[in-house]
Amino acid sequence: MDTVYIEKEVASHGKTTQICARYPKARQVLIDRYSDVFNSRAQNFREQKKNPCLILANKSGNRVHETPPGYHIGGQHNYYFSHMLNCVYDCRYCFLQGMYQSANYVVFVNTDDFFQDIKLTVKKHTDPSWFFSGYDCDSLALDPITHFVDDCVELFSKLDNARLELRTKSTQIRPLLKRVAQPNIVVAYSLSPQAIVATEEHGTPSLAKRIEALKALQTQGWNIGLRFDPLLYADNFEHLYGEMFEQVFAALDMRRVHSVSLGVFRLPKGFHKQLVRLYPDARLLAAPMQLHDGMVSYPEQTEKHMREFCMSRLSTAIEPEQFFPCS
Amino acid sequence: MNPVCIITALPAESRVFIDALRLRHVQDCGWRLYARDHYRLLQTGLGKLKAAAATSTLLHAQPDISAIVNVGVAGGTHPTGTCLQAHKITDEGTATSWYPHLPPRRLTQGLRSTEVLTLDRMSDQYRTDAVFDMEAAGVMSAATVYLSTDAIQCVKVISDNPDSPVQAFSKRVAIAHMQHTVPHVLEMLRWYEQMEDSSIRQSEIRSLSSQITLEVRHTISEGHQLTRLLHRYRSLTDTVLDVQQLQTLNSATAVRQYLETQLSDVPLTYE
């Protein structure tokens, strides 16, 4: 990290000091609001991705949000929170590049405020509330810098009526392996066939490494989740995904997997347009796509075929109650 | 290679780059432009208004310019001759700010960063947290219409400070101070040249598309469809299309159908 922007409000925050200590040679720039840098116009996401900056900020206002309909793994009350904006990985299909102008990483250092809001949200319901981290970022990828996982696991270990999903592609699982597995936390990995990882998921750990991490977590008693989302179309789709399922089924105890979800590639129209502008020759954009209800995705028949193929393979390894389709 | 451009205000700021890059004056009315190979130097004249007007005119006339570096003298509390790069540029008059996306630190070793405050007139009320100039905000406001903030940089050298106020400023002194900026600016230019130019592939497709549309009439919307199909062809085959074949077709529909037929035979696979 060559440049760290620091909101004046959090300049003396303990977490700011701790993070800055990791980058003693970085340029430090004091700013009024993170949005001055992050949301400013004339930024180029693709170019910034080559040399992103870190922005340390305070998150005010709403910190815990309800998830969109259909975003759940069986819970009644579903919320997400983002202690960070943007992701260290560079996946071509990622909606973040359509959502944000900037590829810089924003880390909100006021985690205690997030935790306070989570506690208040839990109190609203008598039955368990689910919290999803990893909606606007990867939950684990920047953990060596943020130490978010330690704090978060500590909090949820004391919240019996709360469930947490940490969604990731990262293999930074040491903080989890150091701890006793928590029954109310699910570590969920996004998985894709290795050929797709290599072409479309730049900078991410290989499929084999992710499976290895899942196996280590499962062995230690952690709940694990598998997220086959997004499924990308290819003419050799069945071969690619069939092979991946075999690898996953061979490595993991599938009956003990907490939850499995899958979703076909889809992007809101505006985000898709931005993706085309940024990466017009991305391979995934060469597939036939259609616009339905403001979302760009594959033609209905293609989508149906992709879903059915994956579900038929998954049904050989998991029970229906483990499965949650994405919409 | 796309051109890269240095933007200065005064002859004394331009001189060192004209010499270092062996630039030649481009005979054209209305601006002071120097060029050689893919290097350009635009001398805008004093003040943010002139800087904005000249920058805008240049970038409009030469849209292939891929990056600019605004270089010049500035006032501050640092010792004279100190080079600084701008991490924030503020127009004092309007309080508008810009944040250039800075290049990797390894390229700018020894170059500290600072806020550059663009004033409408010279000042000797020096500040410790910013340096004063008279053009950077003008350059930024015009350049951000054409380029993204990663392609616009600003390097300033301290020419006056409380010990050596602006009244002592002379052309000879300015040239001597500007000499300090040369290695930093040349390093930045080299970085822009070496950067994997993501726009090269896109400009190839644009050129292909215009070769076709010159011969076969396309509406704007048909032009967009054509560009998308050419990108699809490129990403699936990793080859460039034979344009001559397409130029013989008699309508945009025929071109589209031809491309779609070609593409239907190419499998989309991940290996």
pLDDT averaged over 10-residue windows placed end to end, chain A, 327 residues: 95 96 94 94 91 96 91 90 94 92 95 95 94 89 91 94 96 94 96 97 97 98 96 97 97 96 94 92 92 94 96 95 83
DSSP assignment of chain B, as one string? ---EEEEESSHHHHHHHHHHTT-EEE--TTSEEEEETTEEEEE--SSHHHHHHHHHHHHHH-TT--EEEEEEEEE-SSPTT-EEEEEEEEETTTTEEE---PPPGGGGTT-EEEEEEE-SS------SSEEEESSHHHHHHHHTTTS-GGGEEEEEEEEEBTTB-GGG--HHHHHHHHGGGHHHHHHHHHHHHHS--HHHHHHHHHHHHHHHHHHS---HHHHHHHHHHHHHHHHHH-S---HHHHHT-SSHHHHHHHHHHHHHTS-----
Predicted local confidence at residue B240, as pLDDT: 74
Peptide linkage before A193 cis (omega within 30 of 0): no
B 91-120 residues with CB < 8 A to A: 97-99, 101-105, 112-113
Contact assignment for A43 to B149 by CB distance below 8 Å: yes
Nearest residue in B to A28, CA atom = B113
User: Residue B130: its chain A contacts at CB < 8 A?
Assistant: none
State how beta strands B83-91 and B152-160 pair.
antiparallel
- The residue extents of the domains of chain B are 4-197, 199-264
Distance from CA of B212 to the nearest CA of A (A): 19
State what percent of residues in chain B have pLDDT above 90.
68
Q: Which residues of B touch A27 (CB under 8 A)?
A: 87, 102, 105, 112-113
Considering only CB atoms, A286 lies closest to which of B97, B150, B235, namely B235
Query: Considering Cα of B61, then B62, then B64, then B70, what sign does the dihedral take?
Result: negative
CATH number of B4-197: 3.40.50.1580
> What is the distance in angstroms between the Cα of A120 and the nearest Cα belonging to chain B?
37
Chain A positions touching B240 (Cβ under 8 A) are: none
Note the pLDDT of residue B167.
76
Chain B residue numbers touching A26 (CB-CB < 8 A): 105
Q: Give the pLDDT score at B13.
A: 96
* CB–CB contact A287 B268 (8 Å): yes
A190-194, B6-10, B125-129: segment of lowest average pLDDT = B125-129
What's residue B193's pLDDT?
A: 84
CA–CA gap between residue A235 and residue A288 (Å, rounded): 11
pTM of structure: 0.92
Which residue in chain B is spatially nearest to A54 when comparing CA positions? Answer: B101
Say which residues have a Cβ less than 8 Å from residue A134's Cβ, sequence separation at least 6: A165, A166, A167, A168, A188
Q: Over 60: is that where the pLDDT of B198 sits?
A: no
- Looking at the partner chain, which of B102, B227, B271 has a beta carbon nearest the beta carbon of A3? B102
Of A3, A47, A281, the CB nearest to B235: A281
CB B82 within 8 A of CB B157: yes
Query: Both tokens of residue A180?
Result: 């006793």
- The tokens describing B144, both together, are 């951000």
Distance (Å, rounded) from C-alpha B235 to C-alpha A19?
40
- The chain B residue lying nearest A285, using CA atoms, is B232
Least CB–CB distance from B102: residue in A27, A276, A286: A27
Closest residue on chain B to A193 (Cα)? B270
Percent of all residues in chain B with a pLDDT value above 70, rounded to a whole number? 97
Report the distance separating Cα A204 and Cα A190, nearest Å: 11
φ, ψ (nearest 5 deg) of residue A220:
-85, 0
CB nearest A193 (choices: B147, B201, B270): B270
Sheet-wide strand order for A185-190: A65-66, A77-81, A129-133, A162-168, A185-190, A223-231, A259-264, A323-325
CA distances in angstroms from B222 to A232, B32, B232, listed in the order given:
27, 40, 15
Residue B197 has a pLDDT of: 57
Q: Does B201 have pLDDT greater than 70? A: no
Q: What is the number of other CB atoms lying within 10 angstroms of the CB of residue B145?
A: 13
Cβ of B62 under 8 Å from any chain A Cβ? no
Is B234 within 8 Å of chain A by CB? yes
Task: Determine if residue B168 is left, alpha or beta; phi over 0 gives left, psi from -120 to 50 gives alpha, anything else beta.
Answer: alpha
Three-state secondary-structure class, residue A28: strand
What are the chain B neighbours of A92 within 8 Å (beta carbons)?
A: none
Report CA Rg, chain A: 20
